[in-house]
Amino acid sequence: MITEQLRSFPCPKCNELINTGMDKCSYCSAPIDPAEAEAAAAVQDQVNKAYSDASFIRNMAVGGWVFFLIRYIPFVGIAGWIGMFILMVLVPIKLVVWQARFGRLKTTDPDHKRAKTNRNVAFLIWIPLPILLGLAFLVLASFA
Ligand SMILES: [Zn+2]
């Protein structure tokens, strides 16, 4: 017996979450085409990945500021500098990759909207960091 892994996707007719093993929707009884179901489930997987990735990038952006503060702690300050610079470089790279992979995903899933919000929040949390460091650098340079 082949145990096929069931994956969930929104019914094309009523948008309720159903899974790929069904031949009709358990909510609205709309007939489900297996190929269409697999395609929809693949999109759903992408939506889930987009959502978790965007949350992760947002946390990375927050992490950049945590390291920013760690810089002020005696003895471990150097770890703060390193962590801050790594995240300052990584966050925009991750955002570009996210945009390329998930930005144009065709779906009406609200999680995709939430993922896009997280992407925007990540950017807004991140952007003051390079601006602040840039300004600090300019101020220091003008005194040198
Ligand atoms: Zn349905």
Residue 42 CA, ligand 1 centroid: distance in Å: 18
**Residue range 7-54, pLDDT digits in tens:** 899 898 998 999 998 999 999 999 999 999 999 999 999 999 999 999
Q: Read off the pLDDT band of 6 (50, 70, 90).
A: confident
How much is the pLDDT for 90? 98
8 Cα to the center of ligand 1, angstroms? 12
Task: Please give the pLDDT value at position 3.
Answer: 55
For 74-130, write each residue's pLDDT tens digit: 999 999 999 999 999 999 999 999 999 999 998 888 899 999 999 999 999 999 999
Q: Which residues contact 48 (CB under 8 A, 6 or more apart)?
A: 111
Q: How far is the CA of 20 from the centre of ligand 1 (A)?
A: 12
Q: What is the b/e burial string over 25-39, where b = at least 16 CB atoms within 10 angstroms of the residue's CB?
A: beeeeeebeeeebee
pTM of the model: 0.83
Among 58, 57, 60, 7, which Cα is nearest to 36's?
7
> Distance between CA 31 and CA 101 in Å, rounded?
31
Task: Please give the Cα distance from 138 to 144 (Å, whole number).
Answer: 10
pLDDT of residue 73 exceeding 80: yes
- Do the Cβ atoms of 119 and 98 come closer than 8 Å? yes
Name the residue with tokens 């949390």: 125
The pLDDT assigned to 106 comes to: 86
How many other C-beta atoms lie within 10 A of the C-beta of residue 65? Answer: 15
Predicted local confidence at residue 144, as pLDDT = 76
Ligand 1 centre and the CA of 5: distance in Å?
A: 20
**Could you say which DSSP state residue 6 is in?**
P
Predicted confidence at residue 107, as pLDDT, reads: 86
Distance CA 137, CA 13 (A): 57
